[in-house]
């Protein structure tokens, strides 16, 4: 099992850090192109380097792209401030969509007696898309896990976001009908099942 996980990690690490990867671009106008595409780490500033099957290279604006597919699941580019994040869609409902951006940063340092240590810091940013508006941040947390303070802040923001869209959500949370662990999915599912048809 450990060998399988190590192999999987190395494959993902190699994918994220290679300059280009084979895949398909899906444009907002409904067309698509197959070829070599910039890796997720190269796309943040809004440009995609694309090489087609005839080895023609061109730069494409990320704003023209609906999604990118590298072969295992599609990424959806979302602009957060001046940078683009490649996200995975985890809820796709006619009334609401939820995306997640995840990154894993590994920092190596030398400890006592020249021992090598690694710090792993995770980043999770969740974006919600509703009412025809651009996706916006609904929840986020960093480092090794969600703290009590960050958890309370996330819950407060989510309930505020849905205050007018789903007034009974706050009471449902207080009555333990909604359980929050580390992401907003239970709140979104509650909205879909109880408020989206209003």
Residue 147 has pLDDT above 60, yes or no: yes
In terms of residue numbers, what domain contains 102?
Answer: 78-198
pLDDT for 177 equals 95
Longest CA span, the chain:
64
Q: How far apart are CA 78 and CA 68, in angstroms?
A: 12
- Does residue 52 share a domain with residue 1? yes
The answer on 57 and 26 residing in a single domain is: yes
- Co-location of 94 and 181 in the same domain: yes
Q: Are residues 120 and 161 in the same domain?
A: yes
Q: For residue 114, what pLDDT is reported?
A: 60
Same domain membership, residue 192 and residue 129: yes
Would you place residue 96 in the very low, low, confident or very high pLDDT band (cuts 50, 70, 90)? very high
The residue with greater pLDDT, 182 or 10, is: 182
Please check the confidence at residue 121 and state whether its pLDDT lies above 90. Answer: no
Whether the model clears a pTM of 0.85, i.e. scores above it, the answer is: no
Closest CA to 16 of 37, 32, 47, 33: 37
Interval 98-126 mean pLDDT: 69
> Do 167 and 159 form a contact (C-beta atoms < 8 A)?
no
> Mind listing the pLDDT tens digit for each residue in 57-77?
999 999 999 999 987 778 899
Of 50, 72, 94, which residue sits at a domain end? 72
Last residue of one domain, picked from the residues 72, 90, 108:
72
Lowest mean pLDDT among 4-13, 49-58, 96-105, 123-132: 4-13
Final residue before a domain boundary, out of 19, 54, 72: 72
Give the percent of the chain with pLDDT over 70.
78
Whether residues 51 and 93 share a domain: the answer is no
Judgement on whether residues 135 and 175 belong to the same structural domain of the protein: yes
CA–CA separation, 103 and 164 (whole Å) = 32
Which of 15-24, 71-80, 179-188 is the most confident on average? 179-188
pLDDT greater at residue 81 or residue 34: 34
56/89 same-domain check: no
Residue 103 sits in the same domain as residue 127: yes
At 5, which CATH number?
Answer: 2.30.30.100
Please give the mean pLDDT across all residues of the chain: 81
From CA 179, how far away is CA 195, in angstroms rounded? 17
CA distance 124 to 147: 13
Whole-number pLDDT of residue 188: 96
184 shares a domain with 92: yes
Helical residues (DSSP H) of the chain, grouped into ranges: 2-17, 148-161, 169-174, 185-194
Tell me how far apart the alpha carbons of residues 133 and 194 are, in angstroms, rounded to a whole number.
21
Whether residue 57 is found in the same domain as residue 106: no
5 compared with 198, residue with greater pLDDT? 198
Please tell me the distance from the alpha carbon of residue 123 to that of residue 119, in angstroms, as a whole number. Answer: 13
pLDDT recorded at residue 124: 87
Residues 99 and 2 in one domain: no
**Overall number of domains in the chain:** 2
Integer Cα distance of 3 and 137 in angstroms: 36
């Amino acid at each position: 099992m450990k060998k399988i996980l190590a192999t999987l990690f190395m494959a993902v690490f190699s994918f994220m850090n290679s300059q280009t990867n084979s895949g398909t671009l899906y444009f907002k106008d409904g067309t698509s192109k197959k070829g070599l595409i910039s890796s997720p780490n190269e796309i943040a500033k809004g440009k995609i380097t694309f090489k087609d099957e005839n080895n023609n290279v061109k730069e494409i604006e990320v704003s023209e792209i609906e999604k990118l597919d590298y072969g295992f699941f599609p990424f959806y580019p979302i602009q957060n401030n001046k940078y683009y994040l490649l996200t995975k869609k985890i809820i796709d409902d006619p009334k609401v969509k939820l995306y997640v951006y995840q990154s894993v940063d590994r920092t190596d340092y030398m400890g006592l007696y020249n021992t090598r240590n690694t710090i792993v810091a995770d980043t999770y940013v969740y974006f919600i898309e509703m009412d025809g508006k651009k996706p916006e941040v609904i929840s986020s947390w960093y480092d090794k896990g969600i703290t009590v303070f960050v958890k309370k802040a996330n819950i407060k923001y989510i309930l505020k976001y849905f205050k007018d869209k789903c007034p009974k959500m706050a009471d449902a949370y207080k009555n333990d009908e909604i359980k929050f662990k580390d992401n907003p999915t239970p709140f979104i599912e509650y909205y879909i099942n109880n408020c989206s048809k209003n």
